[in-house]
Amino acid sequence: MLTLKTKYALKALAVLADEKALPEAQPLRIEAIATRSGTPKRFLEHILLDLKRAGIIGSRRGRHGGYELIKAAAQVSLAEVLRLIDGPLAPLPCLSRNAYRKCEDCDEATCRVRAVFGGYYAAYLLMIESLTLADLQEDAQPLERFSLPLPPAGE
């Protein structure tokens, strides 16, 4: 499940990507990003700093300053953003690509938990690694794209 912080980051990036797509694109002040994305400004400040440090967005000072996307939307991996904001994607430390740690309580070669979650994680990675910020800009519903049923509201 996405954390609220990651959801705010993705919404802010979508706003910046939409702005970048305009012919008269200008950097956006944090207040404008917060309003357009429906994100509280106090959370957004920290999120934007993390995205800036990662080289996904840039900032300009001054009267016409603000934040702007410095990569093309199709080059911003959603998996990269998820890892940046929330850390490793793997459900177990022994499955992580970037933060691998051997589990103290099992043998990786025979661990049934690792085997089951390894299959799930591999399928998840195939999907999530293929998504970019450009996918957030499309009108197509991602769940329909991957043929997953949407649960009824309230569940």
* Strand, coil or helix: 35: helix
| Dist CA 88 CA 92 (whole Å) | 9
Over range 119-132, report the average pLDDT: 89
> Confidence class of residue 104 from pLDDT cuts 50, 70 and 90?
confident
Could you tell me which of 78, 15, 65, 76 has the C-alpha nearest to residue 44? 15
| pLDDT at residue 142 greater than cutoff 60 | no
DSSP states of 19-58: HHTSTT---B-HHHHHHHHT--HHHHHHHHHHHHHTTSEE
Residue 113 pLDDT > 60, yes or no?
Answer: yes
Q: Residue 101: pLDDT band by 50, 70, 90 thresholds?
A: confident
Please give the model's pTM, rounded to 2 decimal places: 0.80
Residue 151: what pLDDT? 64
pLDDT, one tens digit per residue, over 3-37 is 999 999 999 999 999 988 877 888 999 999 999 99
Q: How many residues does the chain have?
A: 155
Which amino acid is present at 56?
I
Q: Could you tell me what percentage of the chain is helix, strand and coil, using 3-state DSSP and rounding each to the nearest 5?
A: 50, 5, 40
In the chain, what are the domains? 4-69 (1.10.10.10), 77-131 (no CATH)
